[in-house]
Amino acid sequence: MRVIFFSSQTYDRDSFTKAPTPAGLQLQFQPARLNLDTVALAERHEVVCAFINDDLSAPVLERLAEGGTRLIALRSAGYNHVDLLAAKHLGLSIVRVPAYSPHAVAEHAVALIMALNRCLHRAYNRTRDGNFSLHGLTGFDLVGKTVGVIGTGQIGATFAQIMAGFGCQLLAYDPYPNPQVEALGARYLPLADLLAQAQIISLHCPLNEQSRHLINADSLAAMQRGAMLINTGRGGLVDTPALIEALKSGQLGYLGLDVYEEEAQLFFKDRSDQPLQDDVLARLLTFPNVIVTAHQAFLTHEALAAIAMTTLDNIAAWAKGAPQNLVDS
């Protein structure tokens, strides 16, 4: 059975090569992003393995089905980039990696908090230039601060556990309260109350029609002035232009992003020799109290190994007629 990987990087090839490959699978790694221009590469491949920024809209799915593809194996937990109704109509099965390493993403969110708070990005650049002034680098103690966790699945719960270890007071928002998070002393509140009370807010919820632009001009205005916002979830959870206005006014004091709504054409490539064409992202990068990383929160050895193992297991189980980790339309 032929499997083609789109948007594959060196670390993908390394992790999948090291994982035990089920008998009968032939793996082909393709660095190109899946879209209408590249979908022809998948012809005569029964399985397409896609990542978060691959185009899995109806037109692309139709071309895949015409070329003989029967399974889309996502090497991610999120599936908001898949037209599930079209997939069902075409008879395409969709499987995903529901959990790989919640610690990887949660710890990256904490790293963003620490770097923003203690101005590590600015201090690093200063000392490399021989500037050892401490002016403007004052941070704050995390102990006793109120942290709002929006989305308390596995990643959100792991993040909450880490912040509890710092001695933070925890607030949470999720339609389905997690007993593990409640056991940490977290109080579940309506979103408006969490926004008003938290000094640090971290997003760990899926992207769907209800959560798209959950953070917008109104919700930013409802936050405490100078609050910190962290997003390691999905770029579409925030209205990015609204972030810029809140940063300009000082309403938003710190911003850490590992995801960006328009990242598909930017992230995972070296574009350092080209002018940045995205004016919104370019403006964000001018703020000294903003850190943007290029969707790297998942990037640990442990997480990559788990993604590879689960993805290959998903493909093997589907081939045997006993699919696992199916995404329902």
Rounded Cα–Cα distance for residues 127 and 211 (Å) = 41
Tens digit of each residue's pLDDT (9 = 90 or more) over 271-328: 999 999 999 999 999 999 999 999 999 999 999 999 999 999 999 999 999 999 999 8
Is the pLDDT confidence value at 329 over 70? no
Intrachain domains 2-100+300-320 and 102-292 with the same fold = yes
User: Which burial class, exposed, middle or buried, applies to 158 when counting CB atoms under 10 A from its CB (0-12, 13-18, 19+)?
Assistant: buried
Nearest to 308 by CA among 83, 49, 32: 49
Tens digit of each residue's pLDDT (9 = 90 or more) over 120-161: 999 999 999 999 999 999 999 999 999 999 999 999 999 999
Dump the DSSP string for 226-289: TEEEEE-S-GGGB-HHHHHHHHHHTSEEEEEES--TTGGGTTTS--TTS----HHHHHHTT-TT
Q: Considering only the top CATH level, what class is 102-292?
A: alpha beta
User: Which burial class, exposed, middle or buried, applies to 121 when counting CB atoms under 10 A from its CB (0-12, 13-18, 19+)?
Assistant: middle
Stated length of the chain: 329
Tens digit of each residue's pLDDT (9 = 90 or more) over 201-242: 999 999 999 999 999 999 999 999 999 999 999 999 999 999
* Average pLDDT for the chain: 96
Rounded Cα–Cα distance for residues 68 and 144 (Å) = 57
The stretch 167-184 carries a mean pLDDT of 98
Calculate what percentage of the chain has a pLDDT beyond 90.
95
Rounded Cα–Cα distance for residues 325 and 149 (Å) = 26
Dump the DSSP string for 31-65: -SPPSTTTGGGGTT-SEEEE-TTS-BSHHHHHHHH
Residue 220, Cα to own-chain centre: how many angstroms?
A: 21
Q: What is the predicted pLDDT for the residue at 101?
A: 85
Q: What is the predicted pLDDT for the residue at 78?
A: 86
Q: What are phi and psi of 154, to 5 degrees?
A: -60, -45
The stretch 159-173 carries a mean pLDDT of 98
Rg (CA), the chain: 21
Residues with catalytic roles = 234, 263, 295
The stretch 100-119 carries a mean pLDDT of 96
**Sequence ranges of the domains in the chain:** 2-100+300-320, 102-292
Tokens of 53: 């920024």
Calculate what percentage of the chain has a pLDDT beyond 70.
100
Q: DSSP letter at 328? A: P
SS3 for 196? helix
Query: Rounded to 10 degrees, what is the CA torsion of 132, 281, 226, 140?
Result: -40
Note the CATH number of domain 2-100+300-320: 3.40.50.720
Rounded Cα–Cα distance for residues 1 and 71 (Å) = 11
AA letter at 217 = A
Rounded Cα–Cα distance for residues 57 and 80 (Å) = 10
CB 121 within 8 A of CB 291: yes
AA letter at 282 = A
